[in-house]
Amino acid sequence: MSASSVKSKNPFDRIIDAIEWMAALFVGIVAANIFIAVALRKFFDTSIPDSYDFGRLLLGILIFWGIAATSYRGNHITVDLLWTSASPRMKRYIDVFATSVLMFVVTVQTIMLFDKVALTFRDHVLTYDLNLPTWPFFAVAWMGDVCAVLLIGIRTWRLIFQPQSLEDHPETKINE
């Protein structure tokens, strides 16, 4: 990608790219945690303190940031029986409806996850070995969910008002 194409990106596209890079970063962190923990156990008969806790907490973070990354692109699991036989206009209506429902569900999930972050903070939940607070992990996962709501909102806006902007990106084809 050239420097001129980076400057020409609109703010929404920059936000989308940053969120997708964060999701990719968490995939790498989870993979590194697992690889290092297994290598230390196998070859050195030792382990990372709290590697199990870190693994499960990082996996939770990865799931919520993954939801954010897949929500905008629309490349999550779908059932397209009705959609494939619909006219282009009906396809757009179906896409707007489905994305609106997804936005509602993920928004409710985000509100509920914030309650979990607050509860974990209030209850002072700690990891087993190092007694580190777990609420920051929950907070980072919640931020991924907030990003999912943001990206679903951008996708909904573009489906309604700028459908050509989604069609310009091969990853987000709405008319396949």
Residue 147 scores a pLDDT above 80: yes
Q: Is residue 60 part of a domain?
A: yes
Q: Is residue 89 part of a domain?
A: yes
Q: Is residue 70 part of a domain?
A: yes
Domain that holds residue 25: 10-172
* Integer Cα distance of 136 and 57 in angstroms: 10
Q: Is residue 2 part of a domain?
A: no
Q: Is residue 3 part of a domain?
A: no
Q: What is the pLDDT of residues 78-132, one digit of tens each?
A: 667 787 888 888 888 888 898 899 999 999 999 999 999 999 999 999 999 999 9
Alpha helices in the chain (DSSP H): 3-7, 11-44, 51-73, 81-85, 88-122, 135-161, 163-167
Q: Is residue 103 part of a domain?
A: yes
Whether 80 and 162 have beta carbons less than 8 Å apart is answered as no
* Integer Cα distance of 106 and 110 in angstroms: 6
Q: Is residue 4 part of a domain?
A: no
Residue 73 scores a pLDDT above 80: no
Q: Is residue 61 part of a domain?
A: yes
Picking from 25-29, 51-55, 139-143, 160-164, which range would have the lowest pLDDT averaged per residue? 160-164
* Integer Cα distance of 83 and 47 in angstroms: 50
Count: domains in the chain: 1
Q: Structure pTM? A: 0.80
pLDDT for position 37: 92
Query: Which residues touch 159 (CB under 8 Å, ≥6 apart)?
Result: 92, 95, 96, 99, 166, 174
